[in-house]
Structure 1
Amino acid sequence: MDLFSRSWTALRTAVAELPDEDFAKPSGCSGWLVRDLACHLVIDAQDVLITLVTPAETPPNRDAVTYWEVTGTPPTGEDPLDALTVRLAAAYGEPWMLKFHLDDVGSAAGRAAVLADPGAWVGTKDIVITTGDYLSAYVMEWTLHHLDLIAHLPDVPGPPAEALAEARGMLEKIAGAPFPASFSDTDALLVGTGRRAPTEDERVALGELAVPFVLG
């Protein structure tokens, strides 16, 4: 839960400190500008708040790793929900409005996470999971989206090192094998989730892991 807070705080701080012109630049999410990604983070924060106050009566059937649905198709930005996010982001008009809303809802999600009982059962997306595992899964969410945020913004600070290491560990459990030691945590996450195509040398080193594990 501490790592959830640190990764979420780092991501929100990075967005809050962006100059207005950066919101019109592309993000690492196909079809999304930085403003669209920021809008998605508002929705993510709302999802966290909703989930933390949605108790479940049946035992958990997922954990922080099995929470993720794995597909072999990277998003194109053409999904109806992705397109809705773009329209919502445009409706904000000015970057300061997005910053304000993300800070407002995002801070609330952060406080709720600190106050939550890690052993409590909660329901989300038709699954049951402990609060602790749910928040651990979101370390992956925040870390990947932080990498998406800085994909074309090289001067913006990236995710905390411990969050990158944790997310890599989770992705390796999903993949069922470790990524080559020659891969940095960032490269393992970018290549492993299809955010960046591997070089030829990386493809050889990856072997069967060269197929990206797209998470949803």
Structure 2
Amino acid sequence: MALFALSWTALRKAVADLSDEDFARPSGCRGWLVRDLVCHLVLDAQDVLITLVTPAETEPTVDATSYWRLVDPPTGDDPLDALIPRLAAAYGDPALLKFHLDDIGSAAGRAAEFADRTDLVSTRGEVLTVNDYLAAYVLEWTLHHLDLTAHLPSSVDPPALMPARLALERIAGVPLPASMSDKDALLVGTGRRAATDQEKAALGDLAARLPLVLG
């Protein structure tokens, strides 16, 4: 819960600190501007709110690690991915998008704070504890924090880089090279940037499995 709150608060602050011009910059998500990514975060916050009030009565089917599935890299054909830029553009004024994220994002943060971490909730056809659900989102918030600031002239790194790296390694089932920083491990591991020749050598056979795309 502490890591969820820490990473989510830092990400929302990073959005609040954006200038209007920053919203038109590219993000670390291929094909999306910063404004598109912020719009996606609004939907993520909605998902948190919905999931936390969707109780389940069966035993857990996934945990914080198995919640994420490794999928093929996106092709650009996903209807939701195509919808996001149109929805983001409809806001017009970046201040409106900022306000919406702050409004619903704050609510999602409060809902997470007050939730019983042992409760079972249902999402995406799976059942897991609130604690595991919130833990899974630490990786989501951290990766999107990196995406948000990928092309900004100055930025602060997200606060949960190491926990996010460990989560990615658990999902992959293998450790990433110790010679790589947590930030580089996340960026290279998820295909947000290409590995250098030195990193490819350190990755060894794992290089052929990259990128690790989560779905």
**TM-score scaled to structure 2, two decimals?**
0.97
Q: Which residue does 1:39 correspond to in 2?
A: 39
SS across alignment from 1:51: helix
| Aligned residue number for residue 120 of structure 2 | 121
Q: What is the alpha-carbon distance in structure 2 between the residues aligned to residue 79 and residue 30 of structure 1?
A: 13
Instruction: Quote the Cα distance in structure 1 between the aligned partners of 2:75 and 2:183.
Output: 22
Of 190, 193, 205, 2:190 maps to: 193
Superposed CA RMSD: 0.9
Distance 2:2 2:112 in 1: 9
Listed one character per residue, the Cα deviations across residues 119-140 of structure 1 (whole Å, up to 9, x for unaligned) are 1000000000100000000000
Q: Distance in 2 between matches of 1:130 and 1:198?
A: 35
| Residue aligning to 1:167 | 164
Corresponding residue number in structure 2 for 1:155: 154
Aligned-partner SS, 1:183? coil
Alignment match, 1:215: 214
Structure 2 residue 139 is the aligned partner of structure 1 residue 140 = yes
Separation in structure 2 between the aligned mates of residue 55 and residue 96 of structure 1, nearest angstrom: 34
CA distance in 2, matches of 1:202, 1:158: 21
The answer to whether the Cα contact below 8 Å between 1:192 and 1:209 also exists between their aligned partners in 2 is: no
CA deviation map 1:58-77 (0-9, x unaligned): 0111000000010232x354
8 Å Cα contact 1:27-1:37 kept in structure 2: yes
Q: Secondary structure in 1 aligned to 2:128?
A: strand
Confirm or deny that 1:177 pairs with 2:177: no
C-alpha displacement of 1:78: 3.9
Determine the structure 2 residue equivalent to 1:61: 61
1:19 aligned partner: 19
> For residues 112 and 208 of structure 1, what CA distance do their matches in structure 2 show?
42
TM-score normalised by length of structure 1 = 0.96
Amino acid in the other structure paired with 2:12: R
Q: C-alpha offsets along residues 123-173 of structure 1, whole Å, 9 cap, x if unaligned?
A: 00000010000000000000000000011014022201xx11101001111
Cα displacement (A) at 1:200:
1.2
Question: What code does the residue aligned with 1:36 have?
Answer: D
Aligned residue pair count: 213
Distance, in Å, in 2 between the alignment partners of 1:167 and 1:157 is: 16
Amino acid at match of 1:96: A
Q: 2:87: which partner in 1?
A: 88
Shift of 1:186: 0.5
The residue that corresponds to 1:51 in the other structure is 51
- One-letter identity of the residue aligned with 2:149: I
Alignment of 1:62-81 (within 5 A): 62-73=62-73, 75-81=74-80
Residue deviations 1:9-33, cap 9 Å, x none? 0000000110100000000001100
Instruction: Please list every run of 5 or more consecutive structure 1 residues that lacks an aligned counterpart in the other structure.
Output: none
